Structure 1
Amino acid sequence: HCIKHHMLDAKWMAFIDIDEFLFSPVADKVTDVLGRFDGAPAVGVFSPYFGSAGHEQRPPVPISRAFTKRSPLSKISAKTIANPRWIRAIRNVHLYKYWRGETIDTMGRPFQGDRPVLDLLRLNHYWSRSLSDLQTKIQRGDASTPVPRDSDWHFAAEKDMNAEDDASILPVLDRVFGKAEDAAKAG
């Protein structure tokens, strides 16, 4: 629906989940990075899974500051930022077929999910947030199927999502929000 009705409204559309934060480790604006890929129909962005970092309840700070532990990069997903005018067909909710060309990674290579590149674009997936948030997610059920969520599986998966420290988004937050604070002081 979005592609069909809004393909002319945007040069790029990111097809991501509500619990994912898209950012660039090297630029304040994602659009500054996307300009490098104007000739491609889409850019694949890798999405590491972030866990609870041991928090039973969600701390009173932004999610991206509270949850800085993630799964190993061997367990990573990916999403697509596509030029909607190039999309010919939908393969699944995150992958598409194009009139010409294919999804590339940020190094300009054909996109493959087995070699993560996190240099120019990243998509942190805050999969569980706190353990109480995860319990709520399990009880709510899956958004795309009527199958109930398996509590044991979700809590086992969540343990793997706390294996490595990853605070890569924090300097970006400091740069972006620091600039907003400076502008507010000057204005």
Structure 2
Amino acid sequence: MFGFLQRSRSITKIALQPPTPQADRHGLALVLIVKNEAPHIGEWARFHLRAGVRHIHAYDNGSTDGTAEALLSAAGLQASVIPWDQKLRDARRGLEIHNQVLAYAHAVRNFGSRYRWLSFIDVDEFLIPRQANSLPEALAHLEGCRNISLPWHMFGRSGHIEPPAGGVLRNYTRRNPDPMSDAKGLRNFKMIVDPCHVTALKVHEIETDGGTTTCNDRGEAFTNSSREGTRFYSADHIQLNHYYTRSDAELRAKIARGPNLTTPDADHLRRVMRKVAAIEADEIEDRAAIEFLERPHPERTGG
């Protein structure tokens, strides 16, 4: 059932049989794994429902701050919460199975048959329609693609020491100017895929139909390895904003929470702070999310 790519201490890739599509499948659903995101998950959910997302499948990795309640209050019946508090290991080799990847594989197999598109993002990541009024409309020209990779646009602290009033999108507008920079881990991707063709996945890389072909948001085909070149870059239709730090206080809390895999604290701290320094070394103003919010929008139900 599973195929594994192992590191020295972890299993970070899972292979699977794709689900059989339902005849009436449609729309875009989001999958995320969360832990103690109550202050931000409501804004995140309301934004994406406004952008036309049909459903949110949230895997709760042991939240204790009311994250699930905040999500359901914001999204109602358009969200589902799955308990996912675990650290699992391969019994023979002792390798930790990446809990986030395991959640993604579970979502594809158990929910993917319902949707035309599935995307896997975090609460600090927002999918911004750049021209269309919704994400499904922004995807309409990509029917020939089964795997779409969106590069991170990395936002820093925007000068905030403490969390500001008014939410993330309107307060954090400064980002690194080069989404394709390979400096300190700034270049990475999240995907929107046809779940009924997913055959293997990692957090930042998905295979469809047993291959590594992926498209940018213009529909140009590359491979998972060649997408890292500058020719791949496009945010013409959908921009992926990654609010990596939020305020300085929230950055410290992020570091204290630790990564999704068991990692020595000092290594995690160094990795995060290198990335923060690279983001903030050179910044530009980016108001794409605010511009989307300020457009007139018809009422949407996520269908």
Same fold (TM over 0.5): yes
Deviations 1:77-119 (A, max 9, x none): 21110000011222x1232222176211122222412322111
Residue in 2 aligned with 1:44? 149
The reply to whether residue 145 of structure 1 matches residue 255 of structure 2 is no
The more displaced of 109-118 and 131-140 is 109-118
The reply to whether residue 97 of structure 1 matches residue 202 of structure 2 is no
Residue in 1 aligned with 2:220? 109
Deviations 1:128-178 (A, max 9, x none): 000000000011111233432543543343233232221122110111xx5
The reply to whether residue 173 of structure 1 matches residue 293 of structure 2 is yes
- Partner Cα distance (1:98, 1:142) in 2: 27
Name the SS for the 2:150 alignment partner: strand
Query: Where does the alignment leave 5 or more consecutive residues of structure 2 unmatched?
Result: 1-105
Change in 2 beyond 3 A, CA 1:40/1:53: same
What are the residue-to-residue correspondences of 1:65-80 with 2, within 5 Å? 65-73=170-178, 74=181, 75-80=186-191
- Partner Cα distance (1:124, 1:140) in 2: 21
The more displaced of 33-42 and 77-86 is 33-42
**Residue number among 120, 140, 154 corresponding to 2:272 in the alignment:** 154
Contact 2:200–2:210 under 8 Å retained in 1: no
**Residue number among 108, 127, 143 corresponding to 2:244 in the alignment:** 127
Task: Return the letter of the residue paired with 2:204.
Answer: H
Task: Return the letter of the residue paired with 1:95.
Answer: E
Name the SS for the 2:113 alignment partner: coil
Residue in 2 aligned with 1:84? 195
- Partner Cα distance (1:153, 1:82) in 2: 29
- Partner Cα distance (2:177, 2:262) in 1: 27
TM-score by length of 1: 0.86
Name the SS for the 1:64 alignment partner: coil
Contact 1:20–1:126 under 8 Å retained in 2: yes
Query: Where does the alignment leave 5 or more consecutive residues of structure 1 unmatched?
Result: none
Contact 1:20–1:123 under 8 Å retained in 2: yes
- Partner Cα distance (1:5, 1:45) in 2: 24
Contact 1:49–1:161 under 8 Å retained in 2: yes
Contact 1:16–1:94 under 8 Å retained in 2: no
The more displaced of 121-130 and 101-110 is 101-110
Q: Root-mean-square deviation (CA), in Å?
A: 2.0
Contact 2:133–2:297 under 8 Å retained in 1: no
Higher relative contact order (CA 8 A, sep 6+): 1
Contact 1:49–1:125 under 8 Å retained in 2: yes
